[in-house]
Structure formats: C-alpha cells, structure tokens
Structure 1
Amino acid sequence: MGKVRINLINSLDFYDKCLLGNACENSFRYELMKPMKTMWDYLNVPLQASEPNGYDVVMASEMLGIWTPRKSIQQVKDNLPKLIESGVFEEYQGVISKGIDEFEKIGYSIPLEEINVNILLGDEDSQQIQVNKGYSGFGGIPGYIILMVVPNDFNKKRLKSALAHEFNHNVRFTFEPFNHGDVTVEEYLVLEGLAECFAEEMYGKEFIGPWIEDFDEEEMEYSTEVIKEGRKIKGFGEVSAYMFGDEVAKKQGYNPVGLSANTGYTIGYHLIKQYLANSKKSIAQATLTSTEEIIRVSKFFG
C-alpha cells in the first residue's frame, strides 16, 4: 500500500457561501457531504430523501450535532471566526500524518488509499455537543473523519487530540471491524479506551477529552463491577447504556443500568492503561490487538 492521501473537505468555502446567503440545504448535501458519500452509503443515509422531510444526510447530520442550513445563520457568524482561530485547518494534516507515522514505526501500513477529513461547525442547540463541552467527532468508517465543533476556550486547545482519537478509530476498524448489531460492551470499552489513550500519547494528558471522568475509588469500583456483569451484552442500543450512562440512556430510549455519565469511556480508558502496563506494548501495537487478548492480559475484570 502506498502513501495515504489526506484530503480536507472545503467546509470553509461552504460557510462563506452561507454568510453571503448563497448556500442552502442542497449546498450542504452536494458540496459539503457528497465527498463523504461512501461513508453515508455505508450508514444507509441518502444524500436526498425520496420524500419531503424524509431521513437523509441533513437530518442525520443534525442528529450527530452538526450545524445545517436549517439552523440560525447567526451560529456561523458567531462561531466560524473562532473555529478558524483555533488553527485546526492548518494542523489537521500534521495530526493525521503523525498518527500514520506511529503505525509505520511498528510496520503497519494502513490499508487505505485516502483519509477524508471534514471539519464542521457544531450546532449550539445539540444536546450531544453541549454534553461534550462543545465538540465531538466520528471516525467509525475507515477513510472518513468528521470533527464537529462549537468552539470555546476548553475545546479549541483539544481539537488535535480529538482528531487523533477519531484517526485511531479509523485504524482500529481496519483491523477489527465494528458491527453495530453485534458489538459487545467489551468491544466498545476497548475501542474508546484505545482511541483516548492514543490521543493522550500524541498530545498529552492535559488535553484529554471531557468523556473521561475523574472517578473516586468508590465509584470506580462500583462502575467496574456493573460493567463486569454486563460486558458480554450485545447490540448498540443495549451497549450504549453502559458507555454513556443513565441520563443519556433514558433520553435515547435505552434501559438505564445504574451508571453515571461517560462511565464506559472512563472504564475503557483505565482498562487500556492497565493493558499497556501489563503487556509493555505501545498504544499503536495495542490498537492492532484483539479485544479478547486486551481483556485477558489487562486482568482488569479479574
């Protein structure tokens, strides 16, 4: 496999058109999202619904917390300058290249011809964005990374780390594909723990994401025990209750299991930390290790 191309979708041009009043929902679909069509096809999301107000890429984007032309243009006026000031449009390529280098060091040539990066404004009204202190991402389909941001003082310093997190998902899924219907709690714990430990390795613990909570010893023990009991449970809906906690589970229609916010991300992070300590492997090597072996060697659940 040759060198991986890193492509940036020209979101800035789209937002400039929005500010001039020259962009609409179709511009969003065919200028901003059509370059990601392979990703959306994989997720069974059409660029344009067959019926008015049907499920399509605009609706799916809103569900993810992405600003669309259906929302107030004032959000673009307020947030675009701050997103540009963050430097992420100059730094994204260095982040992905640095990540690729980490895997080349261990002899893994990432089996992708290109990685497409789409840096987007988040929607201020999105609950998902609010919960995550103004930013989130999606790297679940190899070759595609979305970063969505409502820029603020907290997240502007963490955007490189967030890109590194999503890049790790891209690589992980080239090794161990993700199946929403069959995913287990264990697999999801490992997936998110790997991504955040990779981002931490690249950019430092001070830029860790807000999805890693600072549990005290009692809550850590309790949460670990609850997840240990449910770690073989399958299915994205059921697993989500363990990853996101009771509050999100209730709002999204999942059955709560007695956990606080972001518990799965926090436990996954500590699980991977323990695996790295026990195995003496690098985080890049760990990313290319089966979930089963990571759970066994970590001895996290005893």
Structure 2
Amino acid sequence: MTISIIDSASCMSRVLAADTDDRADLLRDMWAPMAGMYHFIPGGVDMATVHRQNFGFPPDSATEQVREGLEALVAADAWARVERALKDGVAALTAADPGATIPDLTVLLTLGDPANEHFIDEVRGLAAFGGISGYIALTVWPTSRVLDRLEAIAVHELHHNVRYSPGGVVWDPRTVTVGEHVVAEGLADVFASELYGDAGYTHFVRDDTRSDDHVLAKVAGGLGVTGMGDFAAWVLGDSSARLFGADPVGLPTGAGYAAGARFVRAYREATGASAAHGVRTPASDILRVALPRLGLTGGVAH
C-alpha cells in the first residue's frame, strides 16, 4: 500500500499569497485529490464547500492568523510526523490482523478556522475524518495540545479507515447504529493509546466526562438508535448536535468517545484482544461482553 500525503503546506501558502478572488479555486485544487471521498454522490461536490464544512480556514479573512498557524505546522514537521505515524499504525494493524484490508491512503492535513468558536473552544482545534476507505482528512488548529497529539490523531483516523475498508465493517447509513459509531470511536482512541499512551485519547473530551458513570449509562441507553442525523448528539454531544441542527439528548462534548473507550477497555480486559486486533470486530460482539462487565444494559449494535 502507499501513503500519499498532499503537500498542503505549499497549497496553503499559495492560497494565502493569492488575490482574494482566486483563493476559493486554489482551495479546490488543494482538496481535489480527496474528491474520491464523495464517489457516492452523483456529479461530485464542490470541494471549496467541503473545506468549509470541515471547519477549514476562511479564504477571505483571518489571513495573518492562518499564516502563523501554517508556520507553526511547518515548524512542528507536521506532515512528516503524520506520515511516520500512519506507517507505524499500518504496521501495528497488519501485525494484529493480517487479514485486514489496508487501502492506499490519500491524506490531507489542513488548517481550520481560528475564528470559529465551536472549532476552537468546543472541539479544541480538531475536526478529522477517516471513515471512507482510502482517504483521511485532518483539519487542525496548531495549539500545543494538538501538536503534541498529531501522531495519535492520525492513527485514530487510520483505525476508522481500515475498519470501514472492504472486508471490514459495513457502514450502511440506513441501518447503522449509535452503538457502531460509539464503539468505533472507542476502538480508535484505545488503538491510539496503545501506540502513544494517554496522548491517544481525543483531547476535546473532558476528564470528568471520561469517568462519569451517568454519561456512560446515558450513552448505553442510546446504542440502538439508528439514523445518522441523531449521531452528533450521542457521539459528539449536545453542542455539536445544535450546530448540525439535531436535537440534544443531554450529553457533554465527546460523550460517545468517553463511553466507547470504556466499552473497548472492558472488552479488552475480558478477552485480551487489543484495539488493533479489534479493528474488524463487530460492535455487537464488543458490547455483548462490555456492557455486563460495566453493569449496564443497552441496545446492542448489529
């Protein structure tokens, strides 16, 4: 397999140096190698819109802040670090599950919008997506915490990518459950922690959320919910649900990540199977073991 890291440092430099009227097209050029993520949409999508929907930096404002953010990413050797981390993650997954499909990867690392309060304050400068086989998009703001976690952020998305590649778990938008999404986030976080220690855990989840038994029980009660429109509330929490036009359910930011990690750790303790080994394990298998060990009942995902 090959890992193709888009030279988005050069792309972003061109955007920032261009006339304002030309910047949207240059953003489209930067995102063009990622267009295959949307192969299922007839006629494709406008990649400048995709950039914006992923909290990408605005082409017509905050230019000086974005320039400083780019300098911080370059100084941190971010692109090389992401590539090395993905190679290490691939090695770990291949060793744990030799039958897993490791796709060729196209990877885009880009800066987010420093003026977006939700992106900066609620999800702490991180919006990443790796759920479509072959593509990983990392949108970040280079706070010290994000820079410390670059490797963990990358392999978290890698775990998703392999899980939803051919031969892995099928994500059917019509039937997928909150349980699958929660378990997937837990597996990805625990996998990152197996490689990078505590830095593996997604940093926009508060420590008290991770240990809150009420949050755990609340998420367990929603595991059987279907319909992706509701997933933001159960996985990302009420703040994200409101942002995306979904109904809040009474959960803090990152509740699904916190619960998912506890489910996966309980399963690992019971079976000895690492999160790397569980990359293709059905959520129903993990929950069937984890829920009783945690003293919970819930709708088990299939």
TM-score range for the pair, normalised by the shorter chain length: 0.7 to 0.9
Instruction: Work out the CA distance in 2 between the residues paired with 1:73 and 1:198.
Output: 36
Gaps (5+ residues) in structure 1?
48-55
Give 1:207 shift. 4.8
Q: 1:292 to 1:113 in 2, by over 3 A?
A: closer
| Paired position in structure 1 for 2:228 | 236
Post-superposition Cα deviations, 1:38-75, rounded to whole Å, max 9, x if no partner, equal 1133366835xxxxxxxx22122212111242444223
| Paired position in structure 2 for 1:148 | 139
Instruction: Work out the CA distance in 2 between the residues paired with 1:284 and 1:162.
Output: 15
**SS of equivalent residue, structure 1 residue 255:** coil
Q: 1:166 to 1:246 in 2, by over 3 A?
A: same
**SS of equivalent residue, structure 2 residue 185:** helix
Bigger mean CA offset, 227-236 vs 194-203? 227-236
Instruction: Work out the CA distance in 1 between the residues paired with 2:130 and 2:124.
Output: 19
Post-superposition Cα deviations, 1:11-48, rounded to whole Å, max 9, x if no partner, equal 1221222243265211221x21111111133366835x
The answer to whether the 8 A contact 1:45-1:60 is kept is no
| Paired position in structure 2 for 1:263 | 255
Paired residue for 1:213, among 172, 195, 206?
A: 206
Percent of pairs with identical residues:
26
Q: 1:187 to 1:45 in 2, by over 3 A?
A: farther
Give, as a single letter, the amino acid of the residue that structure 1 aligns with 2:25. N
* Mapped pair 1:26 → 2:25: yes
Q: What's the Cα RMSD here? A: 2.1
Gaps (5+ residues) in structure 2?
298-302
**SS of equivalent residue, structure 2 residue 96:** coil
- Poorly superposed stretches of 4+, deviation over 6 Å: none
The answer to whether the 8 A contact 2:62-2:114 is kept is no
| Paired position in structure 1 for 2:163 | 172
Post-superposition Cα deviations, 1:214-252, rounded to whole Å, max 9, x if no partner, equal 2379x7222222222222110111222111222332333
The answer to whether the 8 A contact 2:90-2:102 is kept is no
Instruction: Work out the CA distance in 1 between the residues paired with 2:176 and 2:125.
Output: 27
The answer to whether the 8 A contact 2:215-2:255 is kept is yes
**TM-score, normalization: structure 1?**
0.88
**SS of equivalent residue, structure 1 residue 140:** strand
| Paired position in structure 2 for 1:11 | 8
Paired residue for 2:107, among 117, 135, 147?
A: 117
**SS of equivalent residue, structure 2 residue 144:** coil
* Mapped pair 1:129 → 2:119: yes
The answer to whether the 8 A contact 1:211-1:265 is kept is no
* Equivalent pairs, count: 289
Q: 1:213 to 1:179 in 2, by over 3 A?
A: farther
Give 1:109 shift. 4.7
| Paired position in structure 1 for 2:300 | none
**SS of equivalent residue, structure 2 residue 132:** coil
| Paired position in structure 1 for 2:44 | 46
Q: 1:13 to 1:284 in 2, by over 3 A?
A: same
**TM-score, normalization: structure 2?**
0.88
Give 1:196 shift. 0.6
**SS of equivalent residue, structure 2 residue 139:** strand
